[in-house]
């Protein structure tokens, strides 16, 4: 894919899918409704340029004819419009609907990859990935290992919309990364923005291991970011320090990154506290070194995710950090997560780990 | 008059509006091309089925008494019934079929015994089903990709997989291409296009469909064959695989070994319909039931299915009726749930090996002396491979950590180093001398 030569002039295309706006939208849920505010003045922009990142994975791929993308409703463009225009451009043998069957979608995708092609399998909502759990955990993750590297399904990438969206309730809001984090052999990636999404998704597709790419659905519509037309790759298993700080480390992934960025500002204004903000990006294998290095410096760690607290991925991070950085810690590691309940509908505003809960936990850590 | 006008409106205009639905024109565009609505005939217009109306209430009876017939070429004594169905395989092919089945049988007996003696941890025999393996394997091209369940070792045997590699996998020794990671009989071979076996049942079925789709796109003239038992056919993955193969038009042969039992569960408790072949038409799949103990019937059906699957890009379903003469595995004692008489009938009266032998004898291609000679020779080959496997060391302990991913992540490297340090301190408590360093 990287070998495809695209137009010589780099063109920047406006992509309508949000960055900071997501945070603003989320933080204002339950408070006054501001509707959709776009940070960039000319954001009202071009309806014709409404493209999601998935489009860009195929865009620079005229040479390599072995990529296929499939799932429920993928052909007409997808329920989140991620695959709009791809079928017309690349043909119905490469972009197609499957029957309504997640275990079939993933099983089929594994087989495509085993036989040497690249499969991009879409699961319509991460909440519906569970019928495919056996195929992912028992098959995809173990294919290379159990065959002694005779066979593998590294060409498989599974994409699924993920996370809270304001009204999704139990079955359109889940963040199931913790279930899969317990499964050696797959990679799990969650982007925080359109620019990150394209680079990380392309890396997942190129990666020679089966990958699950969770796309925060609230970010599909929420704002605008400029994304290069050419392919570019953001490395997996490398966390990113978005802002350096000295007093406390904040770790999150996906939508929640914007929440903790806001919390970092609040901490600076109200408490004079300097936060180091880390986007983990890859849940498995995760970048232990970056997080531990940060905590060794700051002495305090807060991890935040929408998924329920117990058994959530924050527990893995917390456990590892206390092993590696025990003597550096000035306060217990704080986890600000969803409650141990299914994701409720009308109560979403109270359920989510919003900036006030994060701020409060941070304050307690500082005063410990 | 008003009714006719109303109907005209409904068919031309009103229905169109109803069709728009939430997706607007985009959603109904495809449907507009399918049906011509200008007709005022009393025909159903449902997108989901094309059929006639009927005004008498009548349930379709699932026809289990006289079900799908069983195709066979030879009778139980190995005589051709209908000469035009004799595939007229040349002598060397028939000999290869016979020798593959008998060599497998000999290897099974020795490896089953070796488990009983504690030399390997587990084994599954193929007794009674050898015909399903070699008959189908002979009908395929060598490049056709095979997805199996766990009782298809004869396919690998027919494709020339050497005895020492079978044994190495069972012993998990340093000769195992699978690097000692799986239980015995979980074979895999890249050169012979046999995808590594995994224990979960039926998971291979949708995978085989995906592989077939990729083969179709690659225009590679390769078919995929997917083996599974009648028990595994109850899994959701089987339903998924069949439906995907049909809707996505894949060049795949689904080969079901219906051997009467899923461990202890007889077919009467596995399904209530007419076996697995009857499910095919429900998915829109060409289907056939064959006598699995008749290698020529298996051969003919597989050959034709393969030819058409690739030529027409559609799936085929073959249900090969057979009988599992052995126990499910070395962990099973089937006398707990079936009679010795039942087993003996199949072993003595309807066995794929003896039926083919009768055929060969009647053609003058085999005799008692060759039989004796071959038995001795095959046993010797198996024993040689067996002794070699016994002698070999196990693979290096480091193989625990490789191939989880293509590259070894930092965390795993640390764990590997931790085990290494542990073994330096506590190595005496571990059987390190059985493993390569």
Beta strands in B46-165 (DSSP E): 70-71, 145-147
Q: Answer whether A285 sits within 8 Å of B212, measured CB to CB.
A: no
Chain B CB within 8 Å of residue A234 CB: no
The pLDDT score that the predictor gives to residue B50 is: 84
Binned at pLDDT 50, 70 and 90, residue B25 comes out as very low
Residues B426, B430, B432: CA angle, nearest 5 degrees: 110
Chain B CB within 8 Å of residue A184 CB: yes
The pLDDT score that the predictor gives to residue A293 is: 98
The pLDDT score that the predictor gives to residue B37 is: 57
Q: Which residues pair with B320 in a beta bridge?
A: B257, B290
Percentage of the residues of chain B whose pLDDT score is greater than 90:
88
Question: Rounded CA gap, B217 and A123, in Å?
Answer: 22
ipTM value of the model? 0.91
Q: Enumerate the residues of chain A whose CB falls inside 8 A of the CB of residue B224.
A: 115
CATH level 3 topology of A240-367: Rossmann fold (3.40.50)
Q: Give, for all 368 residues of chain A, the pLDDT tens digit.
A: 333 323 222 333 333 333 333 333 333 332 222 222 222 222 333 332 334 444 444 544 444 568 999 999 999 999 999 999 999 999 999 999 999 999 999 999 999 999 999 999 999 999 999 999 999 999 999 999 999 999 999 999 999 999 999 999 999 999 999 999 999 999 999 999 999 999 999 999 999 999 999 999 999 988 578 999 999 999 999 999 999 999 999 999 999 999 999 999 999 999 999 999 999 999 999 999 999 999 999 999 999 999 999 999 999 999 999 999 999 999 999 999 999 999 999 999 999 999 999 999 999 999 99
Question: Rounded CA gap, B377 and B163, in Å?
Answer: 13
The pLDDT score that the predictor gives to residue B22 is: 40
Q: Enumerate the residues of chain A whose CB falls inside 8 A of the CB of residue B211.
A: 111-112, 114-115
Q: Answer whether A93 sits within 8 Å of B190, measured CB to CB.
A: no
Going by the DSSP 8-state scheme, the letter that residue B68 receives in this structure is S
Closest in B200, B405, B406 to A138, CB measured: B200
Annotation marks residue B191 as catalytic: no
pTM to 2 decimals?
Answer: 0.89
- Beta strand A275-279 with A282-284 is unpaired
Annotation marks residue B328 as catalytic: yes
Q: For B204, which residue in chain A has the nearest alpha carbon?
A: A107
Binned at pLDDT 50, 70 and 90, residue B418 comes out as very high
Domain spans of chain A? 53-226, 240-367
The pLDDT score that the predictor gives to residue A64 is: 58
Chain A CB within 8 Å of residue B240 CB: yes
The pLDDT score that the predictor gives to residue A51 is: 42
How confident is the model over B28-84, as pLDDT tens digits? 444 444 555 556 678 899 999 988 999 999 999 887 678 999 999 999 999 999 999
Q: Answer whether A138 sits within 8 Å of B203, measured CB to CB.
A: yes
Q: Answer whether B211 sits within 8 Å of A131, measured CB to CB.
A: no
Chain A CB within 8 Å of residue B181 CB: yes
The pLDDT score that the predictor gives to residue B137 is: 98
Which has the higher per-residue pLDDT, B130 or B17?
A: B130
Question: Rounded CA gap, A345 and A170, in Å?
Answer: 7
Q: Which domains does chain B have, with CATH numbers?
A: 83-391 (3.40.50.970), 397-434 (no CATH)
CA distance A265 to chain B (A): 33
* Contact (Cβ atoms closer than 8 angstroms) between residue A18 and residue A225: yes
CATH code assigned to A53-226: 3.40.50.970
Chain B CB within 8 Å of residue A85 CB: no
B239-277: buried (b, 16+ CB within 10 Å) or exposed (e) per residue?
A: bbbbbbbbbbbbbbbbbbbbbbbbeeeebeebbeebbbb
The pLDDT score that the predictor gives to residue A224 is: 72
Closest in B186, B200, B211 to A115, CB measured: B211
* Identical fold, A53-226 and A240-367: yes
Annotation marks residue A172 as catalytic: yes
Burial of residue A131 (number of CB atoms within 10 Å: 0-12, 13-18, 19+): middle
Q: What is the mean pLDDT of chain B?
A: 92
Chain B CB within 8 Å of residue A88 CB: no
Which has the higher per-residue pLDDT, B236 or B30?
A: B236
The pLDDT score that the predictor gives to residue B39 is: 61
Percentage of the residues of chain B whose pLDDT score is greater than 70:
91
- Residue A312: strand, helix, or coil: coil
Give the residue-averaged pLDDT of B90-107.
Answer: 98
How far lies B123's CA from each of A146, A180, A267, in Å?
17, 32, 64
Interface size, chain A vs chain B, as Cβ–Cβ contacts under 8 Å: 164
Q: Answer whether A148 sits within 8 Å of B403, measured CB to CB.
A: yes
């Amino acid at each position: 894919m990287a070998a495809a030569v695209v137009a010589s002039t780099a063109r920047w295309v406006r992509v309508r899918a949000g960055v900071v706006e997501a945070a603003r939208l989320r933080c204002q849920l339950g408070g006054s409704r501001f509707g959709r505010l776009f940070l960039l003045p000319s954001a009202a922009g071009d309806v014709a340029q409404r493209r999601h990142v998935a489009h860009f994975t195929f865009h620079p791929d005229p040479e390599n004819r072995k990529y296929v993308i499939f799932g429920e409703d993928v052909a007409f463009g997808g329920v989140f419009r991620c695959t709009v225009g791809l079928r017309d451009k690349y043909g119905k043998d490469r972009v197609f609907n499957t029957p309504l069957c997640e275990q079939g979608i993933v099983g089929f995708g594994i087989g495509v990859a085993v036989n040497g092609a690249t499969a991009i399998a879409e699961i319509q909502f991460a909440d519906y990935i569970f019928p495919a759990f056996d195929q992912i955990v028992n098959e995809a993750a173990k294919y290379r290992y159990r065959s002694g590297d005779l066979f593998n399904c590294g060409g498989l990438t599974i994409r699924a919309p993920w996370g809270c969206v304001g009204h999704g309730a139990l079955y359109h809001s889940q963040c199931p990364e913790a279930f899969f984090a317990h499964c050696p052999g797959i990679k799990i990636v969650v982007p925080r923005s359109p620019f990150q999404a394209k680079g990380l998704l392309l890396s997942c597709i190129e990666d020679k291991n089966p990958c699950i790419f969770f796309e925060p659905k609230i970010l599909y519509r929420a704002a605008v970011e400029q994304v290069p037309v050419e392919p570019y790759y953001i490395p997996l298993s490398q966390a990113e320090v978005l802002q350096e700080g000295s007093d406390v480390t904040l770790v999150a992934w996906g939508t929640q990154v914007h929440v903790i960025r806001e919390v970092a500002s609040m901490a600076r204004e109200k408490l004079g506290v300097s936060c180091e903000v880390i986007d983990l990006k890859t849940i498995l294998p995760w970048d232990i070194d970056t997080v531990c290095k940060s905590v060794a410096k700051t002495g305090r760690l807060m991890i935040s995710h929408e998924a329920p607290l117990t058994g959530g991925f924050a527990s893995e991070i917390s456990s590892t950090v206390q092993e590696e950085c025990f003597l550096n810690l000035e306060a217990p590691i704080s986890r600000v997560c969803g409650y141990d309940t299914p994701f409720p509908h009308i109560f979403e505003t109270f359920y989510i780990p919003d900036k006030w809960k994060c701020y409060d936990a941070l304050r307690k850590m500082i005063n410990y | 008059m008003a009714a006719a006008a109303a109907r005209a409106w409904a068919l031309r205009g009103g229905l169109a509006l109803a069709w728009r639905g939430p997706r607007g024109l985009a959603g109904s565009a495809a449907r507009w091309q399918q049906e011509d609505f200008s007709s005022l005939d009393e025909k159903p217009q449902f997108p989901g089925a094309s059929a006639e109306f009927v005004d008498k209430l009548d349930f379709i009876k699932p026809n289990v008494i006289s079900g799908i017939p069983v195709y066979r070429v030879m009778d139980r004594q190995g005589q051709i019934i209908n000469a035009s169905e004799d595939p007229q395989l040349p002598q060397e092919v028939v000999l290869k079929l016979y020798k593959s089945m008998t060599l497998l049988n000999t290897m099974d007996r020795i490896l089953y015994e070796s488990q009983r003696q504690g030399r390997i941890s587990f084994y599954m025999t193929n007794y009674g089903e050898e015909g399903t393996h070699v008959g189908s394997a002979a009908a395929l091209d060598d490049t056709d990709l095979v997805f199996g369940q766990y009782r298809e070792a004869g396919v690998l045997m027919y494709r020339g997989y050497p005895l020492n590699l079978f044994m190495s996998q069972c012993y998990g020794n340093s000769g195992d291409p699978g690097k000692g990671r799986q239980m015995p009989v979980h074979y895999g071979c890249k050169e012979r296009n046999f995808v590594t076996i995994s224990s979960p049942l039926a998971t291979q079925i949708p995978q085989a469909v995906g592989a077939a789709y990729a083969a179709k796109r690659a225009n590679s003239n390769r078919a995929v064959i997917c083996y599974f038992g009648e028990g595994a056919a109850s899994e959701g993955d089987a339903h998924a695989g069949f439906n995907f193969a049909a809707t996505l038009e894949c060049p795949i042969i689904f080969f079901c070994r219906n051997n009467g039992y899923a461990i202890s569960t007889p077919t009467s408790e596995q399904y209530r319909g007419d076996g697995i072949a009857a499910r095919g038409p429900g998915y829109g799949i060409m289907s056939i039931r064959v006598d699995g103990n008749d290698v020529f019937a298996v051969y003919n059906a597989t050959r034709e299915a393969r030819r058409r699957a690739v030529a027409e890009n559609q799936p085929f379903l073959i249900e090969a009726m057979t009988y599992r003469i052995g126990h499910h595995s070395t962990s099973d004692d089937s006398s707990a749930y079936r009679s010795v008489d039942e087993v003996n009938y199949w072993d003595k009266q309807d066995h794929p090996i003896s039926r083919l032998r009768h055929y060969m004898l009647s053609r003058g291609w085999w005799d008692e002396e060759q039989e004796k000679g071959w038995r001795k020779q095959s046993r010797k080959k198996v024993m040689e491979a067996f002794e070699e496997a016994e002698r070999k060391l196990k693979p290096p302990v480091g193989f625990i950590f490789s191939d989880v991913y293509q590259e070894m992540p930092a965390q795993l490297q640390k764990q590997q180093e931790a085990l290494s340090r542990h073994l330096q301190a506590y190595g005496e408590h571990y059987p390190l001398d059985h493993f390569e360093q």
